[in-house]
């Protein structure tokens, strides 16, 4: 645990007559001129800024960079996010435009395959399949991020309140999450979507978010309660720190890392759930919207015999992206584990 370099730097205790002195540098460079002193102080400050900022997060990031699993996960996630953001620049065509050269070849049992201008061929409506796949990344990212963020926000709120107040507040909130956890996540989402008068991408986002709320809430509450018993909270109490600050400065920040890691994992679940809902026909009814789950569920299923690629590509994309987020999340979980800290 201890850092040998700093250990060695610990000086012998000073004797009583050695009164507190303003700064180390002042004694050790007393013979230098003022300009040199100023220069040295500046260098010291620079190195302080350099070394001082190595927070727990950066420490974890450094360990992440050495982990091949993390790198693979991060590469997949990074590529996915880039494709999603720059979809309009990457996609060769407009994803909703129906091309005459494609539609004229559409029949009941033929869908045009790859050709020079359309590398992945056509979809059942004569649109460019590759462009739709690329825009699909965008839609998937949008749904995943929003669902995760909403779930995270609600979950953190509930978990923080339960963990901070304890007592009956905690009991009530946790019974509530128990109920939510007891329902199979996809079933709950299906019910929610079915309850909404008409389905849209928002019902999907909200359904997926709701399902992740109890997980975040439980996780945060559990780690806040553990923090409440921790030595540094006891030490803070011994300093008279107010309860509010114990929660906000000690319990909450020390509990958040676990939740953030969970968010990465939840993202994977979110896009799988969203895809599943679309697959089941409970997704966005807009036929123009390119979405992997929808593409897999509607076109892929219906035309599987005609052109199985219509199912393969979206399915593969969903699996790879979900895998990427899972790998990254697991690696992050490992990296922030205090047991792995140097």
Partner 1 sequence: MSLLDVRDLSVVFQRRGERPFTAVDKVSFTVEPGQTVGLVGESGCGKSVTSLAIMGLLPKRGNKVTGEVLFEGTDLLKLRPDDMRDRRGREISMIFQDPLSSLNPVIPIGIQVAEVLERHQGRDRKQALRESRELLDAVGIPDPQRRLTEYPHQISGGMRQRALIAIALACKPRLLIADEPTTALDVTIQAQILTLLKQLVDETGTALVMITHDLGVVAGLCDTVNVLYGGKVVERERRHELFAHARHPYTHGLLNSVPRLDSPRGERLHAIRGSVADNIPWVEGCAFAPRCDNVVDACLEGPPPLEPTATGGDLRCNNPVSEEVAVR
Smallest gap from Cβ 57 to partner 1, in A, equals 9
What is the rounded CA–CA span in Å between residue 107 and residue 234?
74
Applying the rule CB under 8 A, the residues between 165 and 204 that interact with partner 1 are none
Smallest gap from Cβ 225 to partner 1, in A, equals 13
| Interface with partner 1, residue 107, by CB under 8 A | no
Q: CA-based diameter of the chain, in Å?
A: 98
**Piece in contact with partner 1 (CB under 8 A), picked from 49-57, 69-77, 109-117, 305-313:** 49-57
Asked if 112 and 120 count as a contact pair (C-beta separation under 8 A), the reply is no
Question: DSSP assignment, residue 128?
Answer: B
Q: Which helix (H) or strand (E) element contains residue 26?
A: helix 24-28
What is the rounded CA–CA span in Å between residue 146 and residue 185?
17
Identify the burial level of 37 via C-beta atoms within 10 angstroms of its C-beta, where 0-12 means exposed, 13-18 middle and 19 or more buried: middle
Applying the rule CB under 8 A, the residues between 200 and 239 that interact with partner 1 are 230-232, 234-239
What is the rounded CA–CA span in Å between residue 124 and residue 305?
12
Among residues 49, 108, 182, 195, the one that binds partner 1 under rule CB under 8 A = 49
User: ∠ at Cα 73 (67, 74), nearest 5°?
Assistant: 85
Among residues 32, 47, 82, 101, the one that binds partner 1 under rule CB under 8 A = 47
Among residues 127, 218, 221, 250, the one that binds partner 1 under rule CB under 8 A = 250
For partner 1, the closer of residues 104 and 232 by Cβ is: 232
3-state SS of 189-239 is HHHHHHHCCCCCHHHHHHHHHHHHHHHHHHHHHHHHHHHHCCHHHHHHHHC
What is the rounded CA–CA span in Å between residue 209 and residue 187?
13
Cα-Cα-Cα-Cα torsion 325, 135, 130, 279, nearest 10 degrees, comes to 70
| Interface with partner 1, residue 253, by CB under 8 A | yes
What is the rounded CA–CA span in Å between residue 206 and residue 192?
8
Among residues 36, 39, 62, 341, the one that binds partner 1 under rule CB under 8 A = 341
For partner 1, the closer of residues 23 and 78 by Cβ is: 23
| Interface with partner 1, residue 7, by CB under 8 A | yes
**Piece in contact with partner 1 (CB under 8 A), picked from 41-49, 66-74, 189-197, 213-221:** 41-49
For partner 1, the closer of residues 103 and 245 by Cβ is: 245
Smallest gap from Cβ 336 to partner 1, in A, equals 11
Cα-Cα-Cα-Cα torsion 321, 152, 224, 73, nearest 10 degrees, comes to 10
| Interface with partner 1, residue 248, by CB under 8 A | no
Smallest gap from Cβ 234 to partner 1, in A, equals 6
| Interface with partner 1, residue 14, by CB under 8 A | yes
| Interface with partner 1, residue 288, by CB under 8 A | no
Residues in contact with partner 1 by CB under 8 A are 1-3, 6-7, 9-16, 20-24, 44-45, 47-49, 51-56, 59, 230-232, 234-242, 249-250, 253-254, 338, 341
């Amino acid at each position: 645990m201890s850092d040998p370099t700093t250990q060695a730097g610990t000086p012998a205790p000073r004797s009583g007559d050695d009164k507190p002195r303003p700064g180390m540098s002042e004694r050790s460079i007393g013979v230098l001129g003022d300009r040199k002193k100023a220069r040295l102080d500046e260098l010291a400050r620079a190195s302080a800024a350099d070394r001082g900022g190595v927070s727990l997060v950066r420490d974890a990031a450094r360990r992440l960079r050495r982990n091949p699993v993390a790198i693979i996960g991060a590469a997949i996630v990074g590529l996915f996010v880039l494709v999603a953001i720059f979809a309009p620049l990457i996609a060769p065509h407009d994803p909703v435009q129906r091309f005459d050269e494609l539609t004229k070849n559409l029949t009941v049992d033929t869908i045009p395959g790859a050709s020079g201008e359309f590398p992945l061929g056509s979809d059942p409506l004569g649109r460019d399949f590759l462009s739709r796949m690329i825009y699909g990344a965008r839609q998937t990212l949008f749904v995943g991020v929003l669902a995760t963020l909403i779930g995270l926000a609600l979950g953190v709120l509930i978990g923080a309140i339960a963990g901070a107040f304890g007592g009956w507040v905690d009991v009530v909130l946790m019974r509530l999450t128990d109920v939510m956890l007891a329902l199979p996540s996809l079933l709950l989402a299906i019910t929610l979507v079915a309850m909404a008068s008409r389905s849209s991408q928002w019902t999907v986002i909200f359904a997926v978010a709701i399902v992740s709320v109890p997980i975040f809430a439980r996780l945060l509450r559990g780690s806040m309660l553990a923090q409440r018993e921790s030595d540094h909270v006891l030490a803070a109490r011994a300093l008279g720190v107010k309860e509010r600050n114990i929660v906000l400065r000690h319990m909450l920040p020390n509990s958040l890392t676990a939740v953030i890691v969970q968010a990465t994992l939840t993202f994977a679940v979110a896009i799988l759930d969203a895809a599943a809902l679309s697959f089941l026909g409970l997704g966005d009814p807009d036929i123009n919207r390119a979405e992997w789950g929808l593409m897999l569920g509607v076109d892929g299923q219906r035309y599987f015999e005609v052109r199985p690629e219509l199912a393969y590509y979206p399915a593969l994309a969903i699996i790879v992206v979900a895998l990427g987020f899972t790998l990254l999340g697991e690696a992050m979980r490992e990296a922030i584990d205090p047991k792995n800290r140097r």
